[in-house]
Chains A and B, each alone.
Chain A
Amino acid sequence: MMEERQNSSPLHHLHPSTKVLCLLLFLVWAMVFNHPLYHLAITALVVIINLIGGSFRRALSFWKFYLVIACAAVLLWSLFLDEPGPAYNILGRHIATSAILYGIGMGLRLISLILFAVVFSSTTPVEAFTYGLRRLGLPYRVGFSLSLAFRLVPSVYQTAKMVESAQQARGHNPRKGGPLRRIFGFVPLMIPTILYTLRSANNLSLALECKGFGLKRKRTSLARYRIGWGDILTLALFIVGLSASIWLRLKGYGAVIDRL
């Protein structure tokens, strides 16, 4: 029954525990380097993973967000990281080349993390995520609550859109005026959205109780997952990749600023 999923890719068929472990390994992997070229390689790897997982178009739809992150990272690290060595003098301010490179690296690190989150969420249903967490030893209630939080994000977004339309129909435009006016302009959107979400959350918890949530200590599952060669190969690739990266970093490669 569970095999009849839409959008099946090789990543969809991996065991949920494999995917959760890969997520954890990638979180470490993304922290190993700070050189933009090494991060570019990692970002390219995540792009390939997105292509395999069939989530590349979805990942690409956030391109404006990536641009903002990249610009903000370069700007912030360039301005606030005071490093010795070659530098530019821009508007009387000393801006180190290494700080600029470090900023680019940080921007790529954030982008690769988002790209990984996109492929993970696209190929892992919330139930599989809960299952994966449970198999790794997390209590079911904790895992379920965590995965539910992810699931509710689109629902809160839908509510916010509906509220925005309802206030727009009364002539309200929060994107008009100066910064202070804009901030206060979001109050008519936030209050109904928060209250509506709280009400829905209350109804949801009632529905969960009435469906016997937490009734038995041993809960069964319709979903059946088996560890296959794909899982072993994927985990091996991640472990080898991460180990190699740590070895390279310990040998002095992959860092613009060694102490960071």
Chain B
Amino acid sequence: MKPSLQSPAVKVSGLSFTYQDAHTPALTDINIQIPRGSYTLLLGGSSSGKTTLLWSLARVVPEFHPGEIAGKIEIMGEYNTSRSPQEMAPYLGLIMQDFASQLFSSEVATEVAFLPENLGLPYEELARRVAEALQMVGLSHLVGRDPQTLSGGERQRLAIASVLSGEAPILVFDEAKSDLDPAGRRQIDELCGRLCRGGNTIISAEVEVEEGAEADLAILLSEGRIVAKGSPKEVFARPDELLRCGIRPLDVTLLADEGDAPPQTVEEALQYLKERDIHPHPKAPDPKSAKPEGEVIASLEGVSFTYPRSDAGISDIDLSVRRGEFIALVGANGSGKTTLVKQLNGLLRPRQGNVYVGGRPISEYDDAELASMVGYLFQDPDHQIFHEQVKEEVGFGLRNLKLSEEEITSRTREVLELMELAELEEEDPYSLNKGQRQRLALASVLAMHPSLLILDEPTTGLDYLEVRRLMSAVEEMNRRGITVIAITHAMWLVARYTHRVAVMSGGNKVFDGTPEELFADEELLSSHMLSRPQIVELSLRLGRYCPTVEEFRRTFTWKGA
């Protein structure tokens, strides 16, 4: 998509913003120009200022969230300073990360009609816009449905349609893909491509670089400042800078020598390495990770479950979990992953089949006993946090186990140190950032010393540094013998951390094996919209399996490596 010669869609000059009651600015001296009809990728970790920048374009700051603002913003050639967020709606559509709270109507059609209705458009125009917006996101067949009955991916597409119907020339996505499975992400990417080709300007805030190569412009933010700006190729070629900003760089960029332009695709990496005479290291270790062969600590035998008044659920699932295993559960939204793991801690009871934990049917345990054996970390830590102090929050589960105060203090200290939260033990949990709150939630579960730990999409919404910190703690607990089952869409997590992976589809378990076996099965991957991490793809093309860049460096040698 080539920028047009007209005035830019967005021009930001010397923008700074400090939230009311904040001590440090959220944005400092931002200068950008975004051409009309272009696709801009806004990268940055947590608290980098991405959302504040997008909000300033839509006048959410300072109108909705007050603060001190300086600098100028031009939207489609006009300053936005005298406008309210409502008045910005015809010019700029904002799609937020929390799509569930953007939907409030009882029907798909009325949800999409809400924005143009507010613009006072006549009926014929409303009907046209609703029909077109729904067609663009592929939801025309669900026009009369209640949004609450749609799947996660469908609701996200509906949230997008409800903004598309405003026909604003600029569309802003604030980490709008973070809750979606790979198929859902791909659909949104394709939609963004179509919108761009149709003349819309797209600005998309992301914490991942893997899907941003198609963008025209990439902007890297850190602590409210722009640290890099240019084409995605230019910005992605700075892996160290990306890492410092909390963004996971492309795997293959980490293979280049200092001073070399790093490869960015698997093809480029193959050429780069072949030119440097790559070959397996003579003393390369067997890359296959040792699979734990401990005793079975939990199992599902022929388990089926369906939700009341719904077809969703799981069907005839067998699964044995051995001590010390790290298992990933992958699959599309609504494939039954969460339903499956909730059988293991009694949050759901099977309609058919048996569930055993520690050799006994789970019906023989009471809530506290089961909670001490099977820890469960929910996706959103705010579903469980309620105490006024970090250490009290950790102690909550332990008090339910009726442990002595001495034991509670000792375990609390132990897990807070492991989670790097010891210095914050007196703090109010709600003053912590999302990554710290997620680690606190994990600490409160780990303090109960479960033998099986279940993580339900624990890394959603976290930046790469926070993900590594969280997963390092989980990896350490796994090394100490705790069995882990993690639901995730991030295939690099599957490759890096797990011994075993199960793929769910339509409530059935369609694969159960090692990550190496999964990544070798191209047909299975493509039929379930799963993809190989770059480094896995590259190593397989070179005849070996390497789940991480470190493993790749141990397995292969090349000139300059």
Q: What residues make up the interface of A, taking CB atoms closer than 8 Å to B?
A: 1-2, 4-6, 125-127, 148, 151-152, 154-155, 159, 162-163, 165-173, 187-188, 191-192, 195-196, 199-201, 203-204, 206-216, 218-224
Contacts and interface: CB of A to CB of B under 8 A. Distances in A.
Contacts of A201: 101
Given A151-B106, A188-B386, A206 B123 contact: no
A207 B101 contact: yes
Interface in B426-451: 430, 444-445, 448
A220 B122 contact: yes
Interface string B127-142: 1001100000000000
Given A210-B58, A212-B118, A222 B110 contact: yes
23 contacts: A1-B143, A125-B107, A127-B105, A154-B148, A159-B383, A165-B383, A169-B384, A170-B397, A170-B400, A171-B371, A172-B400, A173-B366, A188-B396, A199-B382, A206-B96, A209-B85, A209-B86, A210-B60, A211-B115, A212-B89, A215-B118, A220-B121, A220-B123
Contact of B383 (A1, A172, A187, A196): A196
B114 interface: yes
A163 B101 contact: no
Interface stretch (B258-266, B296-304, B372-380, B533-541): B372-380
Nearest to B445: A170
Nearest to B98: A203
Q: Interface residues of A: mostly helix, strand, loop or mixed?
A: helix
A211 B102 CA distance: 10
B130 A222 contact: yes
A32 to B, nearest CB: 32
B60 A224 contact: no
B345 A169 contact: yes
B227 interface: no
A211 B58 CA distance: 11
Nearest to A195: B382
In order of increasing CB-CB distance, the 10 nearest A-B pairs are A171-B400, A171-B371, A171-B368, A212-B89, A170-B397, A212-B118, A191-B386, A222-B113, A169-B376, A203-B101
Contacts of A209: 60, 63-64, 84-86
B87 interface: yes
Contact of A203 (B96, B369, B370, B385): B96
A54 B287 CA distance: 62
A222 B126 contact: yes
Interface residues of B, number: 75
A14 to B, nearest CB: 16
Nearest to B345: A169
Nearest to B60: A206
B384 A166 contact: yes
B143 A171 contact: no
A70 B114 CA distance: 42
Given A165-B378, A200-B98, A220-B126, 6 more contacts: A159-B383, A163-B384, A166-B378, A171-B372, A215-B89, A215-B120
Interface in B68-118: 84-90, 93-94, 96, 98, 100-102, 104-107, 109-110, 113-118
Interface of B: 58, 60, 63-64, 84-90, 93-94, 96, 98, 100-102, 104-107, 109-110, 113-123, 126-127, 130-131, 143-146, 148, 162-163, 166, 342, 345-347, 366-372, 374-376, 378, 382-386, 396-397, 400-401, 430, 444-445, 448
B397 A171 contact: yes
A218 B430 CA distance: 41
B371 A215 contact: no
A206 B385 CA distance: 24
A56 B148 CA distance: 21
B144 A127 contact: no
Contact of B375 (A169, A172, A208): A169
Most buried by B among A154, A204, A214: A204
A191 B392 CA distance: 15
Contacts of A1: 109, 127, 130-131, 143
Most buried by A among B63, B88, B113, B448: B113
B424 to A, nearest CB: 19
A86 B148 CA distance: 54
Contacts of A151: 104-106
Contact of A187 (B64, B130, B148, B386): B386
A222 B109 contact: yes
Nearest to B131: A1
A207 B113 CA distance: 14
Contact of A211 (B114, B130, B148): B114
